[in-house]
């Protein structure tokens, strides 16, 4: 039995082109045009980027998704090399300049910075095509680009969350252990006080009593710090209720009114929505407002101004806290959510980390924009209670 290369129906038709009359040739051209349009539609519907390149990397075909992913223009087709658009790819594949791609399947994960920052999983595999202006029939390759930015960010967020949880558990353990010696110190101070009361009145006794009082006050202060610290960092499941963010904000600012007045800091509010209703834990959200306002106060000199702007759309409510403080340097801005990172004297470096955790548990986000010498804007983004949901499946 003699076997040979499989011949497609298209090959058979093309083999008879010379014998076709004008009418049949026109019908064939129209049919091929329809099939091309059909395939183009399918490729352009795909979310993955699809490229056909020569063995030298020249792009000979690209669907719409790939144009968007790598910033490709129509005029680039047949002219631009994939190596120019993704400079790190050629080195990753072990190709020298001008070298041809080997006929094997390759997979890479890359970080692209243009036209926007994203992570892409890329596959290159040989393709027996019809040839192009820069390749022979056997030297074309298909490149498939899959956007894995969300997948990558989710993995990184999970790793970061686990790291922070470990740090907080350690910190909570240390804080708890500090309570034992503080209790012991309190007991011994009480014993000293009793003994002092048995002594005759004298300048020495008065001096010792003053020292004991100072020690008791410091122990009480440390005990309060530890208590507040543990309450702040212990992960608690939010008690979701229907709340008005404007009302919670007013309550939080009222609680801080004395400190704001002492520092000579004014607060201005602007709202384009009277009742921004969300599902949230009242106490946790007030903790968020408190931490952000506290940071703003500590960043400003007396006479500073905090502007709070409330905006919304169909899906989200946005609260923007702007201050006229010293701003945050570019180096520090990238680390503001890290535990124990602080530029303030006596700061714990936990305030914004707690804010981020609470916002994430509420299905929201926190963003920071800052410029040194001008000020900082912290944006809180909450999902609306009546947001529209789209059913999947």
H helix or E strand, kind and range, residue 324: none
pTM: 0.46
Q: What share of the chain is helix, strand, coil (3-state, %, to 5)?
A: 45, 20, 30
Q: Spell out the residues 6+ positions from residue 158 whose beta carbon is closer than 8 angstroms to its own.
A: none
H helix or E strand, kind and range, residue 41: helix 22-45
The pLDDT value recorded for residue 229 is 66
Q: Which residues of 185-223 are buried (b: 16+ CB within 10 A; e: fewer)?
A: beeebeebeeeeeeeeeeeeeeebeeebeeebeebeeeb
The pLDDT value recorded for residue 245 is 92
Q: How confident is the prediction along the chain (393 residues), in pLDDT tens digits per residue?
A: 344 555 555 566 666 667 777 887 788 788 878 887 888 888 888 889 999 999 889 999 999 999 989 999 999 999 999 998 888 788 777 787 777 887 767 888 888 888 888 888 898 888 765 555 554 545 788 999 999 888 777 766 666 667 666 766 776 677 767 777 888 888 888 888 888 888 888 888 888 888 888 898 888 878 776 776 666 666 678 889 999 999 999 998 988 888 898 889 999 988 877 778 899 999 899 989 998 998 898 888 888 899 999 988 878 889 999 998 888 877 677 677 766 555 555 455 567 878 888 888 888 888 888 888 888 888 899 988 755 443 333
Q: Spell out the residues 6+ positions from residue 238 whose beta carbon is closer than 8 angstroms to its own.
A: 280, 281, 284, 358, 361, 362
The pLDDT value recorded for residue 13 is 63
Half-sphere exposure in the Cβ direction for 201 (13 Å, CA): 0
The pLDDT value recorded for residue 164 is 65
The pLDDT value recorded for residue 76 is 92
Domains in the chain: ranges and CATH:
46-147 (3.30.450.20), 153-233 (1.10.287), 241-383 (3.30.565.10)
Long-range contacts of 96-101 (CB under 8 A, 24+ apart): 98/56, 100/55, 100/56, 100/139, 101/53, 101/55, 101/56, 101/57, 101/141
How many CB atoms are closer than 10 A to CB 230? 15
């Amino acid at each position: 039995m003699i076997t040979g290369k499989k011949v497609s129906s298209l090959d058979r038709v093309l083999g008879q082109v010379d014998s076709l009359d004008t009418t049949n040739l026109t019908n064939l051209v129209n049919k091929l045009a329809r099939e091309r349009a059909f395939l183009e539609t399918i490729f352009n519907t795909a979310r993955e980027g699809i490229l056909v390149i020569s063995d030298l990397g020249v792009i000979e075909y690209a669907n719409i998704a790939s144009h968007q992913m790598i910033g490709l223009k129509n005029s680039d087709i047949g002219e631009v090399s994939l190596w120019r658009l993704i400079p790190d790819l050629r080195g990753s594949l072990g190709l020298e300049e001008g070298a041809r791609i080997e006929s094997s399947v390759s997979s890479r994960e890359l970080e692209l910075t243009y036209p926007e920052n994203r992570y892409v999983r890329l596959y290159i595999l040989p393709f027996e095509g019809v040839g192009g202006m820069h390749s022979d029939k056997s030297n074309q390759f298909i490149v498939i680009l899959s956007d894995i930015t969300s997948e990558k960010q989710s993995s990184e967020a999970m790793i970061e969350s686990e790291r922070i949880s470990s740090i907080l558990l350690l910190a909570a353990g240390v804080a708890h252990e500090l309570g034992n010696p503080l209790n012991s110190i309190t007991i011994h101070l009480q014993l000293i006080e009793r003994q002092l009361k048995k002594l005759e009145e004298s300048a020495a006794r008065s001096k010792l009593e003053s020292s004991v009082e100072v020690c008791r006050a410091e122990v009480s202060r440390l005990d309060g710090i530890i208590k507040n610290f543990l309450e702040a960092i212990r992960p608690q499941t939010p008690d979701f209720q229907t709340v008005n963010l404007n009302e919670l904000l007013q309550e939080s600012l009222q609680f801080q009114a004395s400190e704001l007045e002492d520092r000579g800091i004014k607060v201005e509010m602007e709202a384009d929505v009277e009742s921004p209703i969300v599902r949230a834990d009242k106490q946790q959200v007030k903790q968020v407002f408190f931490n952000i306002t506290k940071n703003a106060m500590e960043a400003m000199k007396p006479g500073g101004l905090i502007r709070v702007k409330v905006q919304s759309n169909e899906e989200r409510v946005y609260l923007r806290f702007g201050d006229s403080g010293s701003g945050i340097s570019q180096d520090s801005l990238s680390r503001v959510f890290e535990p124990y990172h602080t530029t303030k004297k006596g700061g714990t470096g936990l305030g914004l980390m707690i804010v981020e955790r609470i916002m994430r548990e509420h299905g929201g986000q926190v963003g920071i924009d800052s410029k040194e010498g001008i000020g900082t804007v912290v944006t809180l983004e909450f999902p609306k209670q009546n947001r529209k949901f789209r059913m999947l499946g």
